[in-house]
Amino acid sequence: MGLLVDGNWVDKWYNTKENGGKFERQASEFRHSIGEGNSRYLPESNRYHLYVSLACPWAHRALIFRKLKGLENHIDVSVVHPHMLEAGWKFEPYPGSTGDKLYGYDYLHQVYTLEKDDITTRVTVPVLWDKHTKTIVNNESADIIRIFNHRFNALTRNEDDYYPEQLCAQIDEINHEIYHNVNNGVYKAGFATTQEAYEDAVTSLFTTLDNVEKMLSKSRYLVGDILTEADWRLFTTLIRFDAVYYSHFKCNVKRIVDYPNLYAYMCELYQVPGVKDTVNFTHIKQHYYVSQTTINPTQVVPIGPTLNFTSNHGREKYTNR
């Protein structure tokens, strides 16, 4: 695990010593959009490419939106190897990995230096890449899912809207809480290097999960009867929770399966057509347990738990009232 400094790969882990044992995620650097006033990046078929890891919850958001919005024939995907070690994300044969379909590179950092040869940056997934200009359009999943949500509608004729105008404020508000306490909260717990930083993160995480459990006892989705991006952003953390975050990141106050409403809600989302094809538990478990050697130095991957997301979720009752 490392980063690019002036175009050179440096093998270095996040430094938590400077800030009281707390993990602080760095902001994504490439934040361009496609279409709507952006004359550089136009919404064209087969022009953009998505680099992902099937393990990564942020990249998973982008894969789900690509599926839901019918973009599979317009935006192809390269999938990295699940292990992210000294050289960062790599392209090596592994079931479910594809190699770098565009340039045949060995490492994802080579895609970043193709964009700019003396770049200084972390090398993260997802990356939305433009094949025409050989540049990174965007490497922030929160932006990529919004681009996918509406910028290619003219091509796909898929008008499904996961960020409807009248709900934007509500969605932004819930995203904010879920991002800090849940999506990033599990990382803050797992990467904490002091007891205090760990306990702060786990307390906020379970306070939010308890609140969401209550909300979901009254409402089918996070902002009412409509499935929105807020739900998909929560889903990619929930689906990894019992298999990884509970044990590896020590988020072990409760499992998702112990929350009746959260669990049924997660099953409902998993069962939305196409979504289960985006979930790969081998990549997920291999990535976390093998790559994060500061937490799991033996790199032994647990066999369990046994998971079932296909049971009858019964969530229709909330909209049929």
Ligand X SMILES: N[C@@H](CCC(=O)N[C@@H](CS)C(=O)NCC(=O)O)C(=O)O
Binding-site members for glutathione are 89, 122-125, 140-141
Q: Which of 66, 78, 137, 140 binds ligand X (CB under 6 A)?
A: 140
Classify strands 76-79 and 48-52 as parallel, antiparallel or unpaired.
parallel
Least CB distance from residue 179 to ligand X, whole Å?
Answer: 9
Per CB under 6 A, 141 contacts ligand X: yes
**Rounded to the nearest 10 degrees, how much is the dihedral formed by the CA atoms of 183, 69, 149, 228?**
-50
Residue 217: phi and psi, rounded to 5, are -85, -10
Binding-site residue numbers are 89, 122-125, 140-141
Least CB distance from residue 269 to ligand X, whole Å?
Answer: 19
Closest of 244, 257, 178, 186 to residue 212, by C-alpha: 178
- Selecting among 48, 107, 162, 187, the annotated active-site residue is 187
In angstroms, the Cα distances linking 224 to 59, 113, 144, 219, 221 are: 26, 44, 24, 5, 5
Residue 191: phi and psi, rounded to 5, are -95, 0
Whether residue 65 contacts residue 162, with contact meaning beta carbons closer than 8 Å, is answered with: yes
Residues in Cβ contact with 170 at an 8 Å cutoff, skipping those fewer than 6 apart: 223
For ligand X, the closer CB: 29 or 271: 29
Q: Which of residues 88-127 bind ligand X (CB under 6 A)?
A: 122-126
Q: Which of 58, 206, 235, 309 binds ligand X (CB under 6 A)?
A: 58
Whether residue 86 contacts residue 114, with contact meaning beta carbons closer than 8 Å, is answered with: no
- Selecting among 41, 48, 51, 56, the annotated active-site residue is 56
Residues 109, 114, 115, 119, CA torsion sign: positive
DSSP notation for 130-146:
ETTTTEEEE--HHHHHH
**Number of residues binding to ligand X, judged by CB under 6 A:** 12
Q: Is 61 left (phi over 0), alpha (psi -120 to 50) or beta?
A: alpha
Helices (H) and strands (E) in the chain, counts: 10, 7
Per CB under 6 A, 28 contacts ligand X: yes
For ligand X, the closer CB: 140 or 200: 140
Least CB distance from residue 141 to ligand X, whole Å?
Answer: 3
For ligand X, the closer CB: 60 or 220: 60
For ligand X, the closer CB: 33 or 271: 33
Least CB distance from residue 63 to ligand X, whole Å?
Answer: 12
Q: Is 187 a catalytic residue?
A: yes
Least CB distance from residue 111 to ligand X, whole Å?
Answer: 12
Q: Is 56 a catalytic residue?
A: yes
For ligand X, the closer CB: 94 or 263: 94
Which residues are tagged catalytic? 56, 187
Q: Which residues here bind ligand X, judged by CB under 6 A?
A: 1, 28, 56, 58, 122-126, 140-142
